[in-house]
Amino acid sequence: MNITFIGGGNMATALIGGMLQQGFAAAGLTVVEPDPAKRDALQQQFGVQTQAAIETGLPACDVILIAVKPQSMKAVAQQLAPHLGKQLIISIAAGIQVNTLATWLGGYTQIVRVMPNTPALVRAGMSGLYAPPDVDTGHRAQAEQIMRAVGQVLWVAQETQIDAITAMSGSGPAYVFYFMEAMMAAGRALGFNDDDARKLTYATFEGAIKLALDSPDDAATLRAKVTSKGGTTEAALHAMEAAGVKQGIDKGIAAANHRGQELGAILGQQ
Ligand SMILES: NC(=O)c1ccc[n+]([C@@H]2O[C@H](COP(=O)([O-])OP(=O)(O)OC[C@H]3O[C@@H](n4cnc5c(N)ncnc54)[C@H](OP(=O)(O)O)[C@@H]3O)[C@@H](O)[C@H]2O)c1
């Protein structure tokens, strides 16, 4: 698979690193990136080919993965349009709908839209994928193979579900960090210094996730198992219920989903 990345920033770097580890050949990867320092770094770190602009000629490739900021997508798509034949286009830009991108690409429709998340940077990502019905199975398989290099994938049948993916796994790492921040602050209030509060919080998250992944029990059962009647965990969970923590999470995720729909509408009007 010959793949050309448009944009050589954080996400492209994470994807390339993951793909090389999964056995993709560096000789098959090209990055179009205007910043010479980033081009040099990509060449040196990964041994991939780089070029400064699309105008200097797009190499023959099977897949074009657009990894620029959403605000740059229209200009990039318009530059790409004359070069398209039968390549798969993968877009990871937040909020840009397939129909909008297809219009900017001059009516080209072999597009898979992906919503990755930041743990992709450490190859523990969760990516949601959507393809309109006329994208063929070969192209779907290529998109999945690429995104699997940086974590897990989940296909959705409707494009609106990409907003829901954004609300869950796209923004999700921030919810986890928010809970961690609160837990560390509570630890400091109990008298722990910063380092110890951090250690207690990070190890608890790491251990709980490992336990959940390794256990046949669901999260509710695991929670019940550590909540003895009249004990400390029960006291904590009662206080959290009374403070509306669960409703807060529910409202937060609904708000993210709603904002994703709004941003999609705004970005489509560029
Ligand atoms: N980071 C995440 O966790 C995450 C999660 C979900 C989705 N995404 C999506 O992933 C995309 C990329 O995000 P990122 O964090 O990797 O951004 P980034 O680090 O800013 O990378 C974008 C790169 O594209 C370059 N670029 C800009 N215009 C270009 C052009 N016309 N041709 C070629 N390259 C161009 C930029 O160069 P300059 O810096 O010189 O402008 C920059 O190096 C965004 O659309 C974002 O919505 C990211």
DSSP label of 87? P
* Ranges of each domain in the chain: 3-157, 172-259
Q: Is the CB of 68 under 6 A from ligand 1?
A: yes
To the question of domain 3-157 being in CATH 3.40.50.720, the answer is yes
Taking the CA atoms of residue 234, residue 178, residue 242 and residue 233 in that order, the dihedral angle to the nearest 10 degrees is: 10
Q: What is the pLDDT of residues 1-31, one digit of tens each?
A: 899 999 999 999 999 999 998 899 999 999 9
Check pocket membership of 116 for ligand 1, CB cut-off 6 A: yes
24 Cβ partners below 8 Å, 6+ apart? 1, 3, 149
Q: Is 47 annotated as a binding residue?
A: no
Which numbered atom of ligand 1 lies nearest the CA of 13?
A: 16
CATH of 172-259 among 3.40.50.720, 1.10.3720.10, 3.40.50.1820, 1.10.3730.10: 1.10.3730.10
Q: What is the pTM of this model?
A: 0.90
Q: In terms of C-beta distances under 8 Å and separation of at least 24 residues, what long-range contacts does 69-72 make, across chains too?
A: 69/7, 69/93, 70/94, 70/95, 70/96, 70/267, 71/267, 71/270, 72/7
Ligand 1 pocket check for 92: Cβ under 6 Å: yes
The 10s digit of each residue's pLDDT in 132-174 is: 999 999 999 999 999 999 999 999 999 999 999 999 999 999 9
Q: What is the 3-state secondary structure (H, E, C) of 90-115?
A: EECCCCCCHHHHHHHCCCCCCEEEEE
Any ligand 1 atom below 6 A from CB of 43: no
Q: For residue 11, report the distance from its CA to the centre of ligand 1, in Å.
A: 7
